[in-house]
Amino acid sequence: MLFFTKSRDFVQNLARNQEILAGILLAFATIVAIAISNSPLSPAWTRTLDQPLFTPRLPHLASLRDVMGNGVMVAFFFTVGLEVKREVLIGNLADARQRRLPVLAALAGMAVPAAIYLMMVRDAPALQRGWAIPSATDIAFAMGVIALLGRCVPRSLRLFLLTVAVVDDIGAVIVIALGYTAHVDAAWLGAGAAVLAAGVALNRIGCKRVWPYGLMAVALWWCVLHSGVHATVAGVLAALTVPIALDERHDSPLLRLEHALAPWSGLVIVPLFGLVNAGVRLGGPVGDLTLPLAIGAGLALGKPLGIMGAMWLAEITGFARRPEGLTWLQALGAGQLAGIGFTMSMFISTLAFTPDPARENAIRMGILAGSLISGSVGALILRLGHNKSGRSA
């Protein structure tokens, strides 16, 4: 009876806590992807992902893998854009004093992993293009670990890490737009700019209906898809045009869209992306170990070093103070959890390098190892920090 009671309570908690469920689904999708990659189904699965979908072939949408990266992930980035706008205008980033520390920590948390990566691949110029792979934080996994830890994590730490992740997402979009754009088609880019201007005009004239912004987002995606700039950037730009001004019911088109899309993003899109891209052949070729070691070190060492270093520097200079009630040990745990790169790291890796089975396997090994170490060590540190703070109280 006790088993069934605890099982029922666990399921009910999952239903209430989307963050836990999202993390579990992503972990399950990753395990399935690894299992398939190391089974006799691997060749058939690879053919399914890479075979042409349309005749004639559609540029940038030729296969299921392309549709996932250039199409479905745009919806994920659209949701990210909605979240960023809400946080900047009415959320944790609205107050200049409150955003000082998360912005500084996020920037350092991107720069230090990139520096470690570049230092470790300095003798391999062909690998230097992957400098941004260990810079990203997977908020779905990180917040899922925090949710599972429950009372071990103070609310101030959760808000701090969430805000850092939002700034991190902004940085990732900028990196994708500027760092991984090989060439630009001026005509398509101009058409995209015109569509974006139409979206801004809709906002200015006070359009409160959601569907015009949806049509604008699709048109902008199509233009950016053919412009040479990665299509996911269109998702963020389209989201920024959606009105957030609250009506008498404290509602807005942005809040309605975010509420509707967030479950799809966390519970469907991110696990699907993990299923498509997380497959690692455990006995497969990796070539030189420099690449996975550089990625793993960037995530597991660079993220906590960057975030903790930024917090220490901000505090000793008086630029900003740690969130109230947050110990240095708990701050280290938060920095370590930010080293869970996974989805965003894998996404950036697909932009950084041309397809190569051995290199892709090495990249995935580095990301999985770095993320697993970061998540495990971060959870251990936070539990230890909770026990120490409880005893000191």
Asked whether residue 136 is domain-assigned, the answer is yes
User: Is residue 393 pLDDT above 50, yes or no?
Assistant: no
Alpha-carbon distance values, 360 to 28, 209, 295 (Å): 21, 43, 12
Mean pLDDT across 28-37: 87
User: What's the whole-number mean pLDDT along residues 290-311?
Assistant: 93
pTM: 0.78
Mean pLDDT of all residues in 123-145: 83
Indicate whether 121 pLDDT > 60: yes
In a domain, 224, yes or no: no
Task: Give yes or no for residue 250 having a pLDDT over 70.
Answer: yes
Residue 286 has what pLDDT?
A: 61
The CATH number of whichever domain residue 281 belongs to comes to: 1.20.1530.10
d(CA 111, CA 205): 40
Q: What is the mean pLDDT of the chain?
A: 83
- From the number of C-beta atoms within 10 Å of its C-beta (0-12, 13-18, 19+), residue 274 rates as buried
pLDDT band, residue 308 (cuts 50/70/90): very high
Which range marks the domain in which residue 364 is found?
90-179+253-393
Residue 323 lies in a domain: yes
Does residue 362 carry a pLDDT above 90?
A: no
- Asked if residue 341 belongs to a domain, the reply is yes
In a domain, 202, yes or no: no
Rounded mean pLDDT, 198-221? 92
Model confidence at 392, pLDDT cuts 50, 70, 90, reads: very low
Q: What is the pLDDT of residue 217?
A: 94
Q: Give the closest residue to 27 by CA, choosing from 371, 378, 377.
A: 371
136 or 20, which is more confident: 136
Residue 375 located in a structural domain: yes
Q: Is the pLDDT of residue 191 over 80?
A: yes
Is the predicted pLDDT of residue 347 greater than 80, yes or no?
yes
pLDDT at position 65 is 84
Total tally of structural domains belonging to the chain = 1
In a domain, residue 196? The reply is no
